Structure 1
């Protein structure tokens, strides 16, 4: 086993522990941690299986194994960015609705205060 393999395996295990710590502390939601865990596990698999990248690139018809890494990474990033865009759009819509509801409630409270002042006078 080469030095880079040992470093990669150790870094992957440390990253998995860090992800677990973030989940336990409530700083990372489970739905987002799944993506990080899957990517780290894939990295671990290819760290142990040295010829795995060559086998996978041959299976997908990619001439150079590093090109498969870049292509898969770019594809995964695009899918994840699309997911985050959907989540951000949903949160924006919810924030807008909540702000409108708060404004209506504030208006109702102001009207009640004015009505109460008029009744007391």
Structure 2
């Protein structure tokens, strides 16, 4: 096994442990950690299986293996950005609804205070 393989495997496994630690401490939600865990496991698999990238590139019809890596990374990033945009939009909508509810409750409390004073 080549030195770079050993380094890659060790770093990938340490990163996986770090992700687990973040989940346990509550700093990373489980739904977001799945993407990180899957990507790290893919790195570990290709670290053990040196010719795997060549096999996968031939399977998909890509002439150069690094092009497959870049294409896959761009695709994953786009999907993940779409997911984050959906989450941000949902949170924006909930925030707006909450602000409206608070305004209505303030108005109700204000009007009840006026009635009690009179």
Larger Rg: 1
Instruction: Name the TM-score, length of structure 1 as normaliser.
Output: 0.96
Name 2:30's counterpart in structure 1: 30
- The ranges of structure 1 where at least 4 consecutive aligned residues each deviate by more than 4 angstroms after the TM superposition are none
Name 1:76's counterpart in structure 2: 76
Cα deviation, residue 2, structure 1: 1.2
Instruction: Note the alpha carbon deviations across 1:1-41, whole angstroms, 9 max, x for none.
Output: 11111111011000100000011011111111111100000
Name 1:7's counterpart in structure 2: 7
Higher relative contact order (CA 8 A, sep 6+): 2
State the alpha-carbon separation in 1 of the partners of residues 105 and 15 from structure 2: 46
Cα deviation, residue 107, structure 1: 0.6
Unpaired runs of at least 5, structure 2: none
Instruction: Name the TM-score, length of structure 2 as normaliser.
Output: 0.98
Name 2:107's counterpart in structure 1: 107
Q: Secondary structure at the match of 1:27?
A: coil
What is the aligned length? Answer: 118
Instruction: Note the alpha carbon deviations across 1:55-96, whole angstroms, 9 max, x for none.
Output: 000000000000000000000000000011001000000000
**What is the CA RMSD across the aligned residues, in angstroms?**
0.5
Name 1:96's counterpart in structure 2: 96
